[in-house]
Amino acid sequence: MNIFNLFPTAIGQIELHRQLTDSERNFLVDYQNKDIKKNDGNSHTRNNYILDAPELNELKKELTKQLNIYLNDVYKPKNNVEAYITISWINYTQTGQYHHAHSHVNSIFSGVYYADTNDDDTITFISPPDHPLRLRLETSEWNTWNSEEWWFPTPKNTLLLFPSTLAHRVNRTTNPNTRVSLAFNTFLRGKLDSSLNEIVL
């Protein structure tokens, strides 16, 4: 039988070729001692434009580069379309904390860069509620067709890119070391469709 995988969800997983500089790492880790607020399960920076900090200028360039590789490899835009980062923030997850299931609004793609993680840290993506197969069957093995959830390891210096509408969560951590991740949302500019005016934001 031929099985066709129609309309899949594209998750980009990239190990950056560059490592964080000492200045970048210190900025990301030490910011938890500055202005942060409690979230549902963990904490994050109040500053939602953290990648605009001069200390992270080169990192932002690299993340934007990878974002546009993802855009062009997956969606193959015909016209001159560019993805850019809108807001960005740092998440801090300590022992016993978690990140509740959520998706991102007012965004096309979202990304998470893992600055400091533990060996068994993961992120779990959740099947959309309109998934065509809403059966709960006992299975001999899990695959991307019969799973309601799918998790990815999150090693240090890895970037994940995904559609902003895709719900995801982080399970409660038991590790003694704080997990530090940098999250961001994006939008597009340029001519999306020849019948539409150019979008410039």
In a domain, 165, yes or no: yes
In a domain, 139, yes or no: no
CATH of the domain at 117: 2.60.120.620
In a domain, 36, yes or no: yes
In a domain, 64, yes or no: yes
Q: pLDDT 10s digit of each residue in the chain, 201 long? A: 998 888 889 999 999 999 999 999 999 999 998 989 998 899 999 999 999 999 999 999 999 999 999 999 999 999 899 999 999 999 999 999 999 999 999 999 999 999 999 999 999 999 887 665 666 778 888 888 888 899 999 999 999 999 999 999 999 998 889 999 999 999 999 988 777 665 555
In a domain, 155, yes or no: yes
In a domain, 5, yes or no: no
In a domain, 71, yes or no: yes
Counted domains in the chain: 1
- Partners of 49 in the β-ladder: 88
Q: Got the DSSP string for the chain? A: ------SPPP-EEEE-SSPPPHHHHHHHHHGGGSSEEE-SSSEEES-TBGGGSGGGHHHHHHHHHHHHHHHHHHH--SS-EEEEEEEEEEEEE-TT--EEEE--SS-SEEEEEEEE--TT-EEEEE--TT-S-------SS--TTT-SEEEEE--TTEEEEEETTS-EEEPPP--SSPEEEEEEEEEEEE-S-TTSPPB--
In a domain, 89, yes or no: yes
State pTM to two decimals. 0.92
pLDDT of res. 199: 57
Q: What range does the domain containing 181 cover?
A: 12-129+144-189
